[in-house]
C-alpha cells in the first residue's frame, strides 16, 4: 500500500467519524489540515460522503431495544470492562474507570455503561457504513468497465477489427465532428496516429448513400485528401494511410462530397 492510498483511506475514515462528531481535538485538527491539503476531487468526494451519511436514515434504529436486551448488553459490556480493568490495575483505575472504582454501585453506573455500549455499537455501524460505501463505489466502477468493454466489442464487430488499434491509443489524436445541416444527427470520429502514421474513421448515424470526404491541413498549410467513403449503413469504420512525418499537428475536416456541406 502506498503512502498516497494510505493517506486517502485515513482521510475517508476521519471524514466519516467527523460527520458523527466522534473526533478528538487532535484528530479533528489532523482532519481539517488534511482536508484542505487534499485535491479538489477528494474534497468533493468527502463532502458528498458526509452528506450521504447525514441523509441515510438506514443508519438510525427503526425501533428502541427492549429493556431486556438493554440489560443483556449492559451486563456483557460491564463484565468485559471489569475484566480488562482488573488485568490493567492500577493503571486501569486512572481516567475512564476511576468513577467506577470510587462508586461501584453508584446511581450513574448503568447510564455510564449503557453509553459505552451504545458507542461501541455505533462504531460498528460506522465501520459497516464505510464498507457499504466502498462496496458501492467498487460495484459502480466494475459496471462502468463492463459497459465500456461491451461497447468497444460491439463497435469492433460492426466497424472492423482495426478499430481496436486506435481506440484509447495514447499516440492517436481524435477529431470529433458533427453534421452541420439537416434534421438528422450524424457523428464522425477521426483518429490520427501522430507517432507511427495511419488513421481511422468511425462514423455514427450516417445516412445511407451519403459520400464524405476527409481532408487534412498540414502544419505548412498544404491541404490533402485523407479518405473518401460512401456510407452503406448507419455505422461505418475504415482506416486510411498517412505518413507520420505530416501526421503531427494535422488539422482534420470533413465535407459532404455531393452538397459541399461541412461537418463541424
pLDDT tens sequence across 25-83: 888 888 888 888 888 888 888 888 888 877 776 666 666 667 787 778 778 877 777 77
The pLDDT assigned to 154 comes to 62
**CA distances in angstroms from 233 to 25, 163, 208, 230, 246, listed in the order given:** 66, 17, 6, 9, 31
Q: Do both 171 and 257 map to the same domain?
A: yes
Q: Do both 187 and 126 map to the same domain?
A: no
Cα separation, 235 vs 159, in Å, equals 7
Cα separation, 91 vs 250, in Å, equals 76
- Tell me which residue of 228, 221, 208 sits closest to 250, measured CA to CA: 221
Number of domains the chain is built from: 3
Q: pLDDT for 145-162, tens place per residue?
A: 444 445 556 666 666 667
Is residue 222 in a domain? Answer: yes
Cα separation, 65 vs 235, in Å, equals 62
Is residue 168 in a domain? Answer: yes
Q: pLDDT for 186-209, tens place per residue?
A: 899 999 998 889 999 988 889 889
Q: Do both 74 and 101 map to the same domain?
A: yes
Q: Do both 112 and 170 map to the same domain?
A: no
Assign 142 a pLDDT band (cuts: 50, 70, 90): very low
The pLDDT assigned to 109 comes to 53
Q: Which residue would you say has higher pLDDT here, 200 or 165? A: 200
Q: Do both 137 and 95 map to the same domain?
A: yes
Is residue 89 in a domain? Answer: yes
Is residue 157 in a domain? Answer: no
Q: pLDDT for 80-103, tens place per residue?
A: 777 766 665 554 444 444 455 454
Q: Do both 122 and 204 map to the same domain?
A: no
User: In which domain, by residue range, is 14 found?
Assistant: 3-55
Q: Do both 211 and 243 map to the same domain?
A: yes
Q: Do both 101 and 123 map to the same domain?
A: yes
pTM: 0.43
User: Which of 17-26, 88-97, 170-179 is predicted most confidently?
Assistant: 170-179
Is residue 146 in a domain? Answer: no
What's the mean pLDDT in 99-118?
Answer: 55
Is residue 224 in a domain? Answer: yes
Q: Do both 106 and 196 map to the same domain?
A: no
Residue 206: which CATH number? 2.60.40
Examine the pLDDT at 17 and tell me if it is beyond 90: no
Is residue 159 in a domain? Answer: no
Is residue 16 in a domain? Answer: yes
The pLDDT assigned to 84 comes to 65
Examine the pLDDT at 263 and tell me if it is beyond 90: yes
Q: Do both 223 and 175 map to the same domain?
A: yes
199 CB-contact burial (10 Å; exposed 0-12 / middle 13-18 / buried 19+): buried
Q: pLDDT for 215-258, tens place per residue?
A: 999 988 899 999 999 998 888 888 899 998 898 889 999 999 99
Q: Do both 252 and 181 map to the same domain?
A: yes
Q: Do both 96 and 132 map to the same domain?
A: yes
**CA distances in angstroms from 60 to 12, 74, 127, 257, listed in the order given:** 21, 20, 14, 66
Amino acid at each position: 500500500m502506498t503512502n498516497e492510498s494510505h493517506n486517502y483511506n485515513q482521510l475517508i475514515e476521519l471524514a466519516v467519524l467527523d460527520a458523527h462528531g466522534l473526533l478528538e481535538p487532535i484528530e479533528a485538527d489532523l482532519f481539517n489540515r488534511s482536508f484542505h491539503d487534499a485535491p479538489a476531487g477528494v474534497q468533493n468526494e468527502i463532502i458528498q460522503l458526509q452528506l450521504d451519511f447525514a441523509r441515510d436514515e438506514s443508519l438510525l434504529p427503526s425501533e428502541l431495544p427492549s429493556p431486556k436486551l438493554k440489560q443483556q448488553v449492559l451486563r456483557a459490556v460491564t463484565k468485559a470492562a471489569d475484566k480488562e480493568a482488573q488485568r490493567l490495575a492500577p493503571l486501569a483505575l486512572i481516567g475512564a474507570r476511576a468513577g467506577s472504582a470510587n462508586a461501584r454501585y453508584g446511581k450513574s453506573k448503568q447510564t455510564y455503561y449503557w453509553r459505552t455500549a451504545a458507542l461501541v455499537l455505533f462504531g460498528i455501524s460506522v465501520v459497516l457504513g464505510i464498507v457499504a460505501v466502498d462496496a458501492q463505489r467498487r460495484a459502480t466502477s466494475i459496471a462502468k468497465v463492463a459497459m465500456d468493454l461491451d461497447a468497444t466489442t460491439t463497435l469492433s464487430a460492426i466497424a472492423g477489427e482495426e478499430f481496436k488499434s486506435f481506440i484509447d491509443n495514447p499516440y492517436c489524436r481524435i477529431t470529433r465532428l458533427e453534421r452541420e445541416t439537416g434534421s438528422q444527427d450524424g457523428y464522425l470520429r477521426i483518429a490520427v496516429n501522430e507517432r507511427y502514421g495511419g488513421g481511422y474513421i468511425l462514423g455514427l448515424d450516417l445516412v445511407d448513400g451519403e459520400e464524405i470526404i476527409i481532408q487534412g491541413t498540414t502544419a505548412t498549410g498544404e491541404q490533402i485528401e485523407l479518405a473518401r467513403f460512401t456510407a452503406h449503413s448507419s455505422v461505418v469504420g475504415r482506416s486510411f494511410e498517412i505518413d507520420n512525418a505530416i501526421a503531427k499537428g494535422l488539422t482534420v475536416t470533413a465535407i459532404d462530397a455531393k452538397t459541399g456541406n461541412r461537418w463541424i
